[in-house]
């Protein structure tokens, strides 16, 4: 170890001409960067990514691009069709639909991203530990995951919300838990394969500690699958949150989310105003579509072998 | 083969126990007093006085230690007694008998529809790869996977109301009582859910068929001189069905979960709407036992799928 450091120090000083490439130059390749290669490999995925970024941008700029306060009720102008004043109309309490959709994007996206990162993060750690160490930890984990997987996603989330009560943090936790089993399973199988690779065995033989092996050898193999799982789960998380809010079990009104805007229509279904049904749903569908397309493109780019294994609902 | 089936059955049973423990943990052990929402301070529409609260607590057995509550619940379930709804004094068994058939009809119809649409579309897409029919079906598949089913349901209701002044019935009507009204109730949710699952099935079938079309035995069949149609029909189809069986298990999860939201969107009086109503009324017994029912059905059907898969592909049993 000391010799390498001395060598590099000498190189840095210029004493030894660096004809042998140091680590830095070997790692960076010439040619198009990863992002550029991704864009070339899947134009559709790139368009989807751009759309997603656009939606995120709109959500962040909500205060700037909307005129009306999303929570401001106005009993004088309820159920107005789209007009010059309210470009997407008003709902049954006179609130402007456009500002509610844009503000709703914030909540829907925030919940989805945080829940997916949390759930898949737990899945990553649990999968690595379960897959690498095996034994009884693995067996017990599998049984717990089986029990979690025995519930349809929405119902599991509902069950957890019963226990945890309504509200933003609990909805995030509930959705995160529904994302854990599948991500754990996929990462676990990656860890299992990595465990039996030759250079990992070599590292074990040389006496490297489990922590070092996990950090230096197993973890890098899991990065690509992790990214794919996260991108595949975003769409599902958005739909789950929307479903929960639609049923009145998720984010409670008056805070707008695309789901509870659709849920609000149920209360007056004798003559539902079409603009209250079409626009939130369009927002939902297009965002989930973009997320799915991007996820598929990312998966095809990073690891096509995962193609069959990520179907989940 | 028999040991494999016994293994799976045992596993299924253990999973069921796990399911009950999970439900119990969520309902009783997680922070949050079950009856907290029903006190006067919470501002809910349904509230109880202090004495009623005490007797409710005792009636639900909430003052006993956890393991006793769990064992009592399990004993009840084993006897077939699923308790009574808290607010309406109706035995939950009756609720299930009344509303269950509707949900069941919807589920079966949706699955049948998904096979009728998904399988041919998937096979066609694979056999005529990268032609116009393939592109069209792929676009449709991607679209229908992304559309939230309850939104599709709302759109259909909207369309029905605005164009034809039609709304599905709001009270339970069984098939044998009045087939026409019953079918009106069932058809909408079945189509919405069925199309969603058909998209997944089509996707799975397409990729499975694509893989198989390059397999050796297909090459042999073609070399023998069989027409392409015969090759597809006799050899490819059978093998392509296997992954579809696997997907059906996952699709079922989406079906059961999605049916809750779709039933609510159509206003159909099935088990899903009952669950949602129980939720908003904090009707603990109903929530607990209905979720248990969903869990049991899901586990049993997955077990059945494992068995079917093993029967179709004996290699599975000897791994």
Average pLDDT of the residues in A213-217: 80
Q: Distance (Å, rounded) from C-alpha A302 to C-alpha B7?
A: 37
A285 pLDDT exceeds 70? yes
* Distance from the A128 Cα atom to the nearest Cα atom in chain B, whole angstroms: 23
A23 pLDDT exceeds 50? no
Average pLDDT of the residues in B182-187: 81
A17 pLDDT exceeds 70? no
For residue B22, the chain A residues in CB contact (below 8 A) are 147-148, 151, 159
For residue A288, the chain B residues in CB contact (below 8 A) are 146-148
Q: Which residue in B has a C-alpha nearest to residue A243's C-alpha?
A: B261
Cβ proximity of B32 and A163 under 8 Å? yes
* CB-based contact A150 B15, cutoff 8 Å: yes
Q: Distance (Å, rounded) from C-alpha A229 to C-alpha A236?
A: 11
Which one has a higher pLDDT value, A56 or A299? A56
* Distance from the A197 Cα atom to the nearest Cα atom in chain B, whole angstroms: 22
pLDDT of residue A27: 44
* CB-based contact B22 A162, cutoff 8 Å: no
Average pLDDT of the residues in A23-44: 65
For CA atoms B175, B179, B185, B191, give the dihedral sign.
positive
pLDDT of residue A112: 94
* CB-based contact A292 B147, cutoff 8 Å: no
Average pLDDT of the residues in B100-118: 87
> With an 8 Å Cβ cutoff, is A278 touching chain B?
yes
* Distance from the B220 Cα atom to the nearest Cα atom in chain A, whole angstroms: 26
Strand ranges in chain A using DSSP code E only, listed in sequence order: none
Which one has a higher pLDDT value, A24 or B305? B305
pLDDT digits (tens, 9 = 90+) for B19-62: 888 888 877 766 555 565 555 444 455 556 667 667 766 666 66
pLDDT band at residue A110 using 50, 70 and 90 as cut-offs: very high
Nearest by CB to residue B264, choosing from A151, A247, A308, is A247
B144 pLDDT exceeds 70? yes
Three-class DSSP category at A204: helix
* CB-based contact B146 A289, cutoff 8 Å: yes
Average pLDDT of the residues in A261-288: 84
A vs B, Cβ pairs < 8 A, gives 165
Which DSSP string corresponds to chain B? -HHHHHHHHHHHHHHHHHHHHHHHIIIIISSS-TTGGGSGGGT-SS---HHHHHHHHHHHTTTS-HHHHHHHHHHHHHHT---B-TTT--BHHHHHHHHHHHHHHHHHHHHHHHHHHHHHHHHHHHHTTTSHHHHHHHHHHHHHHHS-HHHHHHHHHHHIIIII-----SS---TTT-HHHHHHHHHHHHHHHHHHHHHHHHHHHHHHHHHHHTSHHHHHHHHHT--HHHHIIIIIHHHHHHHHHHHHHHHHHHHHHHHHHHHHHHT--SHHHHHHHHHHTT-HHHHHHHHHHHHHHHHHHHHHHHHHHHHH-GGGGG-
* Distance from the A293 Cα atom to the nearest Cα atom in chain B, whole angstroms: 8
B171 pLDDT exceeds 70? no
For residue A292, the chain B residues in CB contact (below 8 A) are 142, 145-146
> What are B251's strand-pairing partners?
none
> With an 8 Å Cβ cutoff, is A304 touching chain B?
no
pLDDT digits (tens, 9 = 90+) for A130-154: 888 888 888 888 888 888 888 878 8
Q: What is the CA angle B264-B265-B267, rounded to 5? A: 60
Average pLDDT of the residues in B114-125: 88
For residue B252, the chain A residues in CB contact (below 8 A) are 152
> What are A262's strand-pairing partners?
none
| Mean pLDDT (chain A, rounded) | 80
- The CA–CA distances, whole Å, from B15 to A269, B247, B267, B278 equal 41, 20, 33, 26
Q: Which residue in B has a C-alpha nearest to residue A313's C-alpha?
A: B254
Cβ proximity of A138 and A194 under 8 Å? no
Which one has a higher pLDDT value, B88 or B193? B193
Which DSSP string corresponds to A164-198? H-SSHHHHHHHHHHHHHHHHHHHHHHHHHHHHTSH
For residue B253, the chain A residues in CB contact (below 8 A) are 151-153, 313
* CB-based contact A285 B11, cutoff 8 Å: no
Cα radius of gyration (chain B): 24
Give the rounded distance of the alpha carbon of A50 from its chain centre: 16
pLDDT of residue B175: 66
Cβ proximity of B230 and A217 under 8 Å? no
For residue B264, the chain A residues in CB contact (below 8 A) are 246-247, 266
A10 pLDDT exceeds 60? no
Give the best residue of B148, B160, B198 to mutate against chain A (max A CB count within 10 A): B148
* CB-based contact B27 A159, cutoff 8 Å: yes
Cβ proximity of B27 and B34 under 8 Å? yes
> What are B91's strand-pairing partners?
B84
Q: At what angle do helices A168-195 and A219-246 cross, to 10 degrees?
A: 150
Those of residues 37-76 in A touching chain B at CB distance below 8 A are none
For residue B261, the chain A residues in CB contact (below 8 A) are 154, 243, 246-247
Q: Which residue in B has a C-alpha nearest to residue A246's C-alpha?
A: B261
User: What is the percentage of chain B residues whose pLDDT exceeds 90?
Assistant: 3
* Distance from the B256 Cα atom to the nearest Cα atom in chain A, whole angstroms: 6
- The CA–CA distances, whole Å, from A199 to A194, A202, A218, B238, B304 equal 9, 5, 11, 41, 42
pLDDT of residue B157: 85
pLDDT of residue A238: 94
Give the best residue of A159, A181, A248, A250 to mutate against chain B (max B CB count within 10 A): A159
Contacts of B103 (CB under 8 A, 6+ apart): B259, B263, B270, B271, B272
Which one has a higher pLDDT value, B16 or A269? B16
pLDDT of residue A32: 66
pLDDT of residue A19: 47
Those of residues 195-234 in A touching chain B at CB distance below 8 A are none
pLDDT band at residue B264 using 50, 70 and 90 as cut-offs: confident
Q: Which long-range contacts (CB under 8 A, 24 or more apart) does A72-75 make?
A: A72/A96
For residue B16, the chain A residues in CB contact (below 8 A) are 150
pLDDT of residue A18: 44
B141 pLDDT exceeds 50? yes
> With an 8 Å Cβ cutoff, is A242 touching chain B?
yes
A181 pLDDT exceeds 80? yes
Q: Rounded to the nearest 5°, which phi and psi values hold at B84?
A: -125, 150
pLDDT digits (tens, 9 = 90+) for A221-268: 888 888 888 988 999 899 999 999 998 888 888 888 999 888 888 776
Query: Could you count the other beta carbons within 10 Å of the beta carbon of residue A177?
Result: 21
| Mean pLDDT (chain B, rounded) | 78
pLDDT of residue B48: 60
Q: Which residue in B has a C-alpha nearest to residue A155's C-alpha?
A: B257
pLDDT band at residue A291 using 50, 70 and 90 as cut-offs: very high
Show the 3-state SS of B176-244: CCCHHHHHHHHHHHHHHHHHHHHHHHHHHHHHHHHHHHCCHHHHHHHHHCCCHHHHHHHHHHHHHHHHH
Contacts of A253 (CB under 8 A, 6+ apart): A260, A264
* Distance from the B32 Cα atom to the nearest Cα atom in chain A, whole angstroms: 6
- The CA–CA distances, whole Å, from B173 to A270, B85, B95, B102, B270 equal 21, 21, 14, 8, 10
* Distance from the B235 Cα atom to the nearest Cα atom in chain A, whole angstroms: 22
B134 pLDDT exceeds 70? yes
> With an 8 Å Cβ cutoff, is A139 touching chain B?
no
pLDDT band at residue A129 using 50, 70 and 90 as cut-offs: confident
Widest pairwise Cα distance in chain B: 84
| Weakest mean pLDDT among A107-116, B106-115, B129-138, B164-173 | B164-173
pLDDT of residue A117: 94
pLDDT of residue B255: 79
């Amino acid at each position: 170890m000391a010799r390498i450091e001395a060598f590099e120090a000498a190189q840095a000083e210029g004493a030894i001409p660096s004809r042998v490439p140091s680590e830095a130059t070997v790692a960076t390749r010439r040619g198009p960067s990863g992002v550029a290669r991704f864009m070339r490999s899947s134009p559709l995925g790139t368009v989807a990514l751009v759309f997603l970024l656009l939606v995120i941008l709109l959500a962040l700029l909500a205060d700037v691009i909307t005129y009306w306060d999303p929570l401001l009720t106005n009993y004088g102008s309820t159920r107005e069709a789209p007009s010059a004043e309210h470009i997407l109309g008003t709902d049954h309490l006179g609130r402007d639909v456009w500002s509610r959709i844009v503000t709703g994007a914030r909540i829907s996206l925030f919940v989805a991203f945080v829940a997916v990162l949390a759930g898949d993060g737990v899945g990553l750690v649990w999968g690595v530990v379960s897959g690498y160490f095996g034994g009884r930890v693995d067996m017990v984990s599998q049984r717990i995951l089986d029990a979690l997987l025995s519930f349809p996603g929405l119902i599991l989330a509902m069950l957890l919300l019963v226990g945890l009560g309504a509200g933003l943090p609990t909805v995030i936790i509930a959705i995160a838990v529904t994302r854990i089993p599948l991500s754990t399973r996929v990462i676990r199988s990656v860890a299992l394969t990595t465990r039996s690779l030759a250079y990992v065995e070599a590292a074990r033989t040389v006496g490297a500690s489990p922590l070092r092996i996990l950090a230096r050898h197993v973890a890098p193999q899991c990065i690509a699958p992790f990214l794919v799982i996260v991108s595949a789960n975003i769409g599902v998380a958005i739909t789950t949150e929307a479903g929960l809010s639609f049923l009145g079990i998720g984010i409670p009104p008056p805070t707008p989310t695309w789901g509870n805007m659709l849920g609000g229509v149920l209360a007056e279904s004798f003559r539902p105003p079409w603009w209250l049904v079409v626009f939130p749903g369009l927002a939902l569908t297009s965002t989930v579509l973009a997320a799915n397309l991007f996820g598929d493109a990312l998966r095809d780019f990073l690891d096509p072998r995962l193609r069959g294994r990520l179907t989940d609902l | 083969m028999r040991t494999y089936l016994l293994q799976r059955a045992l596993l299924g049973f253990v999973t069921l126990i796990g399911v009950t423990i999970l439900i119990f943990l969520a309902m009783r052990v997680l922070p949050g007093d079950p009856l907290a929402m029903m006190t006067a301070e919470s501002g809910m529409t349904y509230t109880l006085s202090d004495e009623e609260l005490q007797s409710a607590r005792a009636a639900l057995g909430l003052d006993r230690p956890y393991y006793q509550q769990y064992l009592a619940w399990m004993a009840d379930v084993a006897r077939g007694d699923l308790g009574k709804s808290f607010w309406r004094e109706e035995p939950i068994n009756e609720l299930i008998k009344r509303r269950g058939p509707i949900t069941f009809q919807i589920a079966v119809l949706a699955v049948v529809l998904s096979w009728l649409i998904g399988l041919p579309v998937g096979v066609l897409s694979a056999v005529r790869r990268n032609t116009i029919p393939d592109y069209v079906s792929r676009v449709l598949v991607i679209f229908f996977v992304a559309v939230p089913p309850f939104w599709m349901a709302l759109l259909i209701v909207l369309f029905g109301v605005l164009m034809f002044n039609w709304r599905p019935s709001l009270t339970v009507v069984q098939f044998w009582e009045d087939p026409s009204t019953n079918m009106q109730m069932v058809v909408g949710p079945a189509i919405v859910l069925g199309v969603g699952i058909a998209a997944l099935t089509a996707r799975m079938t397409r990729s499975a068929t694509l893989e198989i079309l390059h397999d050796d035995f297909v090459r042999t069949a073609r070399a023998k001189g069989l027409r392409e149609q015969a090759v597809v029909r006799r050899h490819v189809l059978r093998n392509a069905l296997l992954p579809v069986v696997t997907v059906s298990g996952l699709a079922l999860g989406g079906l059961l979960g999605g049916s809750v939201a779709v039933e609510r969107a159509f206003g159909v009086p099935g088990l899903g709407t009952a669950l949602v109503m129980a939720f908003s009324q904090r009707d603990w017994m109903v929530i607990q036992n209905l979720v248990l029912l969903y869990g049991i059905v899901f586990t049993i059907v997955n077990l059945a799928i494992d068995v079917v898969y093993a029967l179709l592909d004996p290699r599975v049993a000897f791994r």
